């Protein structure tokens, strides 16, 4: 109930306070954050532990998101269950995959201008372009093959045929055609990627050292032996090309590999 005789702004603040104190808020927000950060199908116990921190951060404060995120990332289920629960993990969102590589490879254009207009076609996402306040996909989305298992995979709602092909083409052209060290005069608005640090590891320490680096950076230490062998074969196929092109093909292979796309 709202007090009478208040201004519209006071009514709005009181209404938000009422919603914030509703007992469903803590588990709802906690589960959504767990799904975005760690795993699409957290156990009820995991959600409850995080919701308890939302209710009280240990100092009597409700809604301390810093404490909530810490609880999510440091929970035993986040740190130990990737090899225990068969459905553990989540699909990495296409836009976040691209951003991770851009950050690692110091993506930049000479004019400090980033062309992202076509990302919705190739990724199914654009920065700040969610069609609703509830994100690009529903948190309870279930592909047909997962219905019987009663588990969800929210990010797969935007993984249609056109988007998947677009993502792979976008990654291929980005890695192979935009190598900063091989293009002396790029156009002002062309996003260039620097592969120098990766080439240095390959040339100075060898392929295994580079794959160890990728295991830590992109796979969180969970790269499978099959994936490592695939990357060795990729490097062998392109061994007659420049080291920069070899690294570009390795990065492309990483970016489209199931081991990477599924975050454990």
pTM as predicted: 0.87
Q: Does the residue 210 lie in any domain?
A: yes
Q: Give strand pairing partners of 263.
A: 90
Q: How far apart are CA 143 and CA 151, in angstroms?
A: 9
Q: Does the residue 20 lie in any domain?
A: yes
Kindly state whether residues 72 and 142 are assigned to the same domain. Answer: no
Q: How far apart are CA 92 and CA 96, in angstroms?
A: 7
* The pLDDT of residue 117: 65
- Residue that finishes a domain, picked among 58, 79, 100: 79
Q: Does the residue 134 lie in any domain?
A: yes
In 70-172, at which residue ranges do the beta strands (DSSP E only) sit? 90-91
Kindly state whether residues 149 and 44 are assigned to the same domain. Answer: no
Kindly state whether residues 207 and 143 are assigned to the same domain. Answer: yes
* The pLDDT of residue 1: 67
- The tokens for 114 are 């980033």
* The pLDDT of residue 101: 95
Kindly state whether residues 43 and 71 are assigned to the same domain. Answer: yes
- The tokens for 135 are 């994100």
Q: What is the mean pLDDT of each run of 10 residues along the chain (264 residues)?
A: 75 83 94 96 96 97 97 93 76 93 92 75 85 90 91 93 86 90 86 96 97 96 95 94 96 95 90
Q: Domain of residue 16: give its range.
A: 8-79
The count of domains in the chain is: 2
* The pLDDT of residue 114: 74
- The tokens for 143 are 């592909």
Long-range pairs, 156-159, Cβ under 8 A, ≥24: 156/91, 158/94, 158/124, 158/125, 159/91, 159/124
* The pLDDT of residue 19: 86
Q: Does the residue 47 lie in any domain?
A: yes
Q: Does the residue 85 lie in any domain?
A: no
Kindly state whether residues 165 and 184 are assigned to the same domain. Answer: yes
Q: Does the residue 171 lie in any domain?
A: yes
Kindly state whether residues 119 and 152 are assigned to the same domain. Answer: yes
Kindly state whether residues 166 and 249 are assigned to the same domain. Answer: yes
Kindly state whether residues 94 and 224 are assigned to the same domain. Answer: yes
Q: Are 262 and 92 in contact (CB under 8 A)?
A: yes
Kindly state whether residues 41 and 145 are assigned to the same domain. Answer: no
DSSP codes of every residue in 144-209: GGGTTTT---GGGGG--HHHHHHHHHHHHHHHHH-BGGG-SS--TT--BB--HHHHHHHHHH-HHH
């Amino acid at each position: 109930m709202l007090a009478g005789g208040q201004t519209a702004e006071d009514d709005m603040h009181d209404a938000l306070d009422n919603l914030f104190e509703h007992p469903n808020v803590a588990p709802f927000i906690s589960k959504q954050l767990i799904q975005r950060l760690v795993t699409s199908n957290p156990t009820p116990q995991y959600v409850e532990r995080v919701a308890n921190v939302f209710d009280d951060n240990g100092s009597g404060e409700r809604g301390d998101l810093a404490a909530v995120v810490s609880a999510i990332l440091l929970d035993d289920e986040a740190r130990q269950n990737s090899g225990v629960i068969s459905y553990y993990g989540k699909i990495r969102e296409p836009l976040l995959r691209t951003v991770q590589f851009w950050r690692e490879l110091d993506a930049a254009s000479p004019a400090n201008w980033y062309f992202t207009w076509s990302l919705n076609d190739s990724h199914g996402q654009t920065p700040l372009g969610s069609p609703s306040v509830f994100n690009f996909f529903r948190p309870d989305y279930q592909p047909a093959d997962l219905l019987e298992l009663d588990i969800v995979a929210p990010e797969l709602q935007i993984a249609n045929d056109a988007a998947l092909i677009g993502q792979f083409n976008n990654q291929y052209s980005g890695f192979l055609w935009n190598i900063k060290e091989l293009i002396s005069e790029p156009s002002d608005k062309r996003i260039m990627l620097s592969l120098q640090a990766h080439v240095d590891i390959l040339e100075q320490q060898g392929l295994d050292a580079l794959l160890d680096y990728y295991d830590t950076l992109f796979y969180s230490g969970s790269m499978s032996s099959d994936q490592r062998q695939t990357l060795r074969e990729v490097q062998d196929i392109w061994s007659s090309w420049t080291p920069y092109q070899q690294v570009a093909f390795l990065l492309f292979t990483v970016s489209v590999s199931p081991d990477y796309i599924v975050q454990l």
